[in-house]
Amino acid sequence: MFDINKTIELIKGGLLEPRATWQSYLAENRSWQDTAVLLTLPLIIASSALSGILSLAFRSYHMGFGRWLLAIVFAIIGIAVVSFIFSYLANVFKGKHDFNRGLAALSLAAIPAYAGSIVAPVPFIGWIISLALSIITLVYLYQIIPSYLEVPEDKRVIHYVSSLVVSVVLMMLIGYMFGHGGLMGGYRGGMSMTGEQPAQVGMFGDIQRYTDLMDRAQKDHYNPPANGMITDQQMKDYMDAMRKTAEVRKEQMAHLDKLKEEYKDKEPSATDLPALSGGIGSVLGAVSAEMEVVMTGKGNWAEHQWVTQQLHTARIQKDINDTVKHNYAMYQANAAELEKLSVIP
């Protein structure tokens, strides 16, 4: 039975607290019908409707009502087919063939991608946000599969790669068989990543690297000082990290702008995958830049986040107590450069 409060809870949790939400939903042991009613169908229908509204508002793209309904049908078919493939191949690789869990895993992991599809029609920034959130969905899918389908760690990568490749090929075939290849563009576009190796290999390598980076970052711990004051060394390290992050993002965005201009008037096809491989890799690099700069510089991600939060609080509160006054002075001393770097804690 549909429960809007449960649906909102799952979507909110999937965006803000994904791991806790995944484990909580897994413990509920829901049927695929429950998942479809509570999460899958609401995600597909709501994201399609809101995206269509924004398309009309910004006049970025208009899809007739018939094609809109057809796109929803293909989206439903798509997630069902992909869920079955991931579940079926889990059994091949010594995991568990369970469609109930397969659909749950795909639907939960896809929450960021559906959120991104809503803002895709927004000019200039929408497609970048949408692409970034789609990549996060791929990362989440890589993380959620072992617990939901019990795929052994040593089979994790090969199961993930095989499932995605089979899914993409099958969905493209289904799209072209029914004469709606254009509706399956998302499956084509999602196959490219970075590097001069084959696009699929680069994509999975980058996803695994980003996932490993996130896992390591989440293991960092930091016990802040009782007085809550940022030290001179912490501020120095923070500014150094943000300068390097800004440089990385500038390079990645320059590459994306070049790619966007090149493909402005044509729809990418399978033959364009090598040329497009650096595009999605650039988005992934931009998304993870700050974390990667801190982690590869042997910094502590938890401490870095604490400094960011302290600066954010100080910028808002300014002078409510001695701690905030101290941290606000730190912020003010670097505010001009932070603004120049387009970094506002």
Residues of the chain where predicted confidence (pLDDT) is lower than 70: 58-68, 173-212, 255-257, 259-287
**pTM for this prediction:** 0.58
Domain boundaries, the chain: 4-189, 199-340
Residue 305 in tokens: 């986040």
Which pLDDT score is estimated for 200?
41
Question: CA of 163: how far to CAs of 87, 133, 293, in Å?
Answer: 9, 20, 31
Which pLDDT score is estimated for 192?
34
Q: Are 191 and 274 in contact (CB under 8 A)?
A: no
Burial environment of residue 110 by CB neighbours within 10 A (0 to 12, 13 to 18, 19 or more): buried
Compute the distance between CA of residue 239 and CA of residue 299 in angstroms, rounded to an integer: 13
Helices marked H in the chain: 4-16, 18-28, 32-35, 41-58, 65-92, 99-109, 111-119, 126-149, 156-177, 185-189, 199-218, 232-262, 273-296, 301-317, 322-340
